[in-house]
Structure 1
Amino acid sequence: MTEAPSLPELIDMQIRTSGPMSVASYMGLCLTHPVKGYYKVADPLGAAGDFVTAPEISQMFGELIGFFMVNLWQQMGSPKAFSLLELGPGRGTLMADMLRVACRAEGFRDALDLRLFETNPALIAEQNARLEAYEPKWIDAFEKVGDGPLLVLANEFFDAMPIRQFVRMEDGWHERMVGLSDGKRSFGLNPTPIPPSAMPEAVADAELNSVFEVGLASGEVMKRLAAIVSRQGGGILAIDYGYGRTQTGETLQGVRRHRFADVLAAPGETDLSAHVDFEALGTLAAKAGLQVQPLATQGSFLTRLGIDQRVKGLSTANPAQAGTIAAARDRLVDTGQMGELFKVFCAASPGLVPPGFS
């Protein structure tokens, strides 16, 4: 029996057959190929994986977001039925920490309809092990969230959405492509230029060789979710690294086993990500009728929600762990660590006042 081709072989075969592919197409195959994609076969989280997320650093992260969700739910009048949707829930750690706190609020647990958007079978099993008591349902389409109010959480989800890259040349913008050179994957440019007038005003005066990244997939996700939330009520909370204003800059990166890696070298084995354009997402949410909060840093958001008070409480209850608890707080909040790099985005129904924002 002939062995099935590997993902690198499949990608190279497609390039030889159809020509160079966009960066977005390449990222899509690498991350979400239905059989061999990174998020289909890898376990990317934790010390043995490729990166550590905030929920894995400390329970405080999830606990404070649990408070955030309860606050919004109560502002909506504590509806008797609502959906809570997490995009890319990892091992379920964040949701477990959230619900441990949130379900202390009277009526929250009985009203909860938990939905999880996930494709990795191994992670689904871990999510079920942690969240089975809350009767989660896994969905593959956002429209499967029910008819009631919807609260959405996306922690380090949008950065993994495929992006297109464009490079400014003298005759206009050219899309960056992934092709083959001497049999090896390499970057090149589509020879057909795109006039500057077709690009956003924010990059109209970009210098030669500037790179502009467009997250069309992220935009489609936000557009669809914002339409549902606008119609049914609720809010969307997204935490990720990114920027608050549409701008040029190359941010596509690969990470493998906690080290930066060549994005072209090992398709399906390397985590690929890019910074999120939160202004673009906010524009789409606002067009759908949602009210967009001023973008916050993760450090300021967690501080406003009371992380320092939580540190004191945990340290008092566990004095032997006080140093570890303080170090986790610093990693989440300090400017030189995750506090400034990660941003917090929220779009919600008009009239709601999400906590944690200025």
Structure 2
Amino acid sequence: MIEGQPTPLALRLAARIANSGPMTIADYMEACLGDPQHGYYMTRDPFGAAGDFITAPEISQMFGELIGLWAVETWQRMGSPASFVLAEFGPGRGTLMADALRAARLVPAFEAAARIALVETSPHLSMVQRERLAGHEATWVRSHEDLPPGPAIVLANEFFDALPVRQYVRGMDGWSERMVGLEADALTFVLRPAPDFAGPASVAAGDTVEVAAWSETIMRALAGRIAREGGAFLAIDYGHDGAGHGDTLQAMLEHRYDPPLAHPGMADLTVHVDFQELAGAARSAGAIPAPVMTQGDFLLALGLLERAGRLGADKPAETQDAIRAAVERLAGSAAMGHLFKVLCVASPGLDVPPFAKVTAAS
């Protein structure tokens, strides 16, 4: 792509809008991330220093190892079923699952019982994951609906932030939906009246509300399955725990923020996750959401400092410095530790670490 020139997907979207009118933010996100020919995740590996962003599993093996030990203990508290589904949504390069399974080797019966399933829509990333998980028997599916039945432990790290949302803006005379339209053949944000939208009364004029219907639908489906068949779902993402609102749509390109309409299909698009909405969706489906924790508190409770100490023991000073930097990045309040939140959803009666046992009233 020549700098300043529209991307191939931008040209296609402009033609679509010219023919059919402005498109919702949700439709724009879906096209940018999942278009079979030009979608961001369909043809590239966006992770790591050579990509556009770095996720927690790529920062340090400690992240995936602790998640693996969490999964082992959760399985044991489930009664160590002889067969269960170990699933991951949006598995990236497969790094988290590979690190988790390596740590889980401490309990051989765990992997023997696990039916590993990865929920992935990208053909390119599926190939990367297969290489990373060589030696493990696993299956790949495209949707939560395709997961095998039975009790399950489900992982989702930076998954919900990439699911499409719709945006509504409160005006002096009511609500409008924020759309993607055209101005002089260039993509631009426009407003369309939304008289049927009933947003929160507390939102001030000019403010934006995001509706994450896709996220809530997936959470309800998974939580309902967990409530019926047993297990737990662990979601880790950046977002807020409370009554938040505002425009959180953002794009990342080469580790820098990018205008969301500037490079469709070339830049990552994400939104902040509303964890209270996810918890409410889980509760409505019969599962029990634990209190939301920050990623920092969660990892420290799982033993991040102890694992870092063992990993750095007798290592050169440069290695120990790198491990300390990784701990700070994963758990520090000025880094991922506070911005990223953790929501665990469990079947009724299951005491999941490191959360205190919760009840339906929690």
* TM-score tier after normalising by the smaller chain length: over 0.9
RMSD: 1.3
Q: Distance in 2 between matches of 1:274 and 1:192?
A: 21
Does 1:357 find its partner at 2:355? Answer: yes
Candidates 130, 134, 152, aligned match of 1:132: 134
Q: Could you give the per-residue CA deviations for residues 121-158 of structure 1, whole angstroms, max 9, x where no partner exists?
A: 22212211121222110001223222221111000000
Does 1:146 find its partner at 2:183? Answer: no
Contact 2:92 2:129 in 1 (8 A): yes
Contact 1:302 1:356 in 2 (8 A): no
Contact 1:38 1:270 in 2 (8 A): yes
Q: Could you give the per-residue CA deviations for residues 245-275 of structure 1, whole angstroms, max 9, x where no partner exists?
A: 2322111101000000011011100100000
Does 1:54 find its partner at 2:56? Answer: yes
Q: What amino acid is aligned across from residue 336 of structure 2 in structure 1?
A: M
Does 1:225 find its partner at 2:191? Answer: no
Does 1:182 find its partner at 2:180? Answer: no
The answer to which of 232-241 and 186-195 deviates more is 186-195
TM-score (norm 2): 0.94
Q: What amino acid is aligned across from residue 64 of structure 1 in structure 2?
A: L
Q: What amino acid is aligned across from residue 97 of structure 2 in structure 1?
A: M
Q: Could you give the per-residue CA deviations for residues 145-197 of structure 1, whole angstroms, max 9, x where no partner exists?
A: 222211110000000001100001011111101000121111111034345xx
Q: Could you give the per-residue CA deviations for residues 35-75 of structure 1, whole angstroms, max 9, x where no partner exists?
A: 21111012110001110000011011011101110111000
Candidates 303, 307, 331, aligned match of 1:306: 303
Unaligned runs of 5+ in 1: none
Q: What amino acid is aligned across from residue 175 of structure 2 in structure 1?
A: W
Counterpart of 1:343 in structure 2 is 341
Counterpart of 1:277 in structure 2 is 274
Counterpart of 1:247 in structure 2 is 244
SS at match of 1:241: strand
Unaligned runs of 5+ in 2: 1-6, 357-362
Does 1:238 find its partner at 2:240? Answer: no
- Relative to 1, partners in 2 of residues 1:143 and 1:308: Cα closer, same or farther, differing over 3 Å? same
Q: Could you give the per-residue CA deviations for residues 90-134 of structure 1, whole angstroms, max 9, x where no partner exists?
A: 111111110001132141111010000112222212211121222
Q: What amino acid is aligned across from residue 355 of structure 2 in structure 1?
A: F
Q: Distance in 1 between matches of 2:43 and 2:243?
A: 33
- Relative to 1, partners in 2 of residues 1:180 and 1:66: Cα closer, same or farther, differing over 3 Å? same
After superposing on structure 2, the runs of 4+ consecutive aligned residues of structure 1 that deviate more than 4 Å are: none
Q: Aligned runs of 1:3-14 on 2, under 5 Å? A: 6-14=8-16
Counterpart of 1:86 in structure 2 is 88
Counterpart of 2:99 in structure 1 is 97
SS at match of 2:42: helix
Counterpart of 1:30 in structure 2 is 32
Deviation at 1:34, TM superposition (A): 1.8
SS at match of 1:237: strand
Q: Distance in 2 between matches of 1:313 and 1:120?
A: 36
Candidates 160, 169, 172, aligned match of 1:170: 172
Contact 1:304 1:357 in 2 (8 A): no
State how many pairs are aligned: 349
Contact 1:300 1:356 in 2 (8 A): no
Q: What amino acid is aligned across from residue 113 of structure 1 in structure 2?
A: R
Q: Distance in 2 between matches of 1:139 and 1:8?
A: 29
More helix by share: 1
SS at match of 1:66: helix
Candidates 263, 268, 286, aligned match of 1:289: 286
Q: What amino acid is aligned across from residue 33 of structure 2 in structure 1?
A: L
Contact 2:86 2:117 in 1 (8 A): yes
SS at match of 1:86: strand
SS at match of 2:206: coil
Deviation at 1:287, TM superposition (A): 1.1
Q: What amino acid is aligned across from residue 259 of structure 1 in structure 2?
A: R
TM-score (norm 1): 0.95
Q: What amino acid is aligned across from residue 142 of structure 2 in structure 1?
A: D
Q: What amino acid is aligned across from residue 172 of structure 2 in structure 1?
A: E
SS at match of 1:336: coil
- Relative to 1, partners in 2 of residues 1:192 and 1:233: Cα closer, same or farther, differing over 3 Å? closer
